[in-house]
């Protein structure tokens, strides 16, 4: 089992920045690809970003590319999502997830993830 706890959400004005953190405990964190997803009110949960466990290689949704950066610190068992130039449409509950995958995989689909956090609310005002 892997337990994931997100933090860092809050209310920010459009154009501002937030950094989300996801602390993992349980199994060996470094063997899991980590991802961020989000769910806006009335919408389905969607992929935001993912990072391989074997390297810093990452992938992003087109809607956040160039504005968001995912990173991980295996020594601290923590993954981060730096969000810059925030827009009102970024408002959502953000979820951290862990995927037990091969080293070269960057999972972008929800079914590829084995464990999920409870989520943290991000609200961007216009």
Burial class from Cβ neighbours inside 10 Å (0-12, 13-18, 19+) for residue 43 reads exposed
- Mean pLDDT confidence for 37-65: 94
Query: Per-residue pLDDT for 27 more than 80?
Result: no
The neighbouring-strand residues paired with 24 are 4
Pairing mode of beta strands 10-13, 32-39: unpaired
End-to-end, the C-alpha distance of the chain in Å comes to 40
State pLDDT tens for residues 70-119.
999 988 999 999 999 999 999 999 999 999 988 888 899 999 999 999 99
Distances 111 to 20, 38, 51, 114 between C-alpha atoms, Å: 22, 15, 16, 8
């Amino acid at each position: 089992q892997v337990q994931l706890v997100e933090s860092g959400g809050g209310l920010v004005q459009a154009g501002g920045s937030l950094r989300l953190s996801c602390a993992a405990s349980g199994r060996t964190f470094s063997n899991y690809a980590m991802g961020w997803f989000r769910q806006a009110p009335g919408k389905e949960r969607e992929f935001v970003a993912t990072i391989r466990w074997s390297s810093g290689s990452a992938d992003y949704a087109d809607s956040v590319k160039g504005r968001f950066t995912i990173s991980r610190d295996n020594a601290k068992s923590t993954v981060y999502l730096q969000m810059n130039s925030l827009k009102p449409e970024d408002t959502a509950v953000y979820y951290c997830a862990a995927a037990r995958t091969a080293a070269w995989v960057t999972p972008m689909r929800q079914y590829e993830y084995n464990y999920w956090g409870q989520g943290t609310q991000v609200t961007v005002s216009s």
